[in-house]
Chain A
Amino acid sequence: DTAVSQTPKYLVTQMGNDKSIKCEQNLGHDTMYWYKQDSKKFLKIMFSYNNKELIINETVPNRFSPKSPDKAHLNLHINSLELGDSAVYFCASSQNGQDTEAFFGQGTRLTVV
Chain B
Amino acid sequence: DQQVKQNSPSLSVQEGRISILNCDYTNSMFDYFLWYKKYPAEGPTFLISISSIKDKNEDGRFTVFLNKSAKHLSLHIVPSQPGDSAVYFCAAVNTGTASKLTFGTGTRLQVTL
Contacts and interface: CB of A to CB of B under 8 A. Distances in A.
B100 to A, nearest CB: 5
B43 A105 contact: yes
A98 B99 CA distance: 6
A100 interface: yes
A97 B98 contact: yes
A66 interface: no
Interface stretch (A13-21, A37-45, A70-78): A37-45
B59 interface: no
Nearest to B38: A104
Interface string B46-62: 10010000000000000
Contact of A102 (B2, B42, B46): B46
Contacts, number: 60
Nearest to A107: B43
Interface residues of B, number: 22
Contacts of B98: 48, 55-56, 97
Among A9, A41, A45, A90, max chain B CB count under 10 A is at A41
A92 interface: yes
Interface stretch (B19-27, B68-76, B77-85, B101-109): B101-109
Given A43-B44, A107-B41, A100 B32 contact: yes
Nearest to A4: B43
Interface string A88-109: 0010100001111111111100
Interface string A18-57: 0000000000000001000000111111001000000110
Interface of B: 2, 32, 34, 36, 41-46, 49, 89, 93, 95, 98-103, 105-106
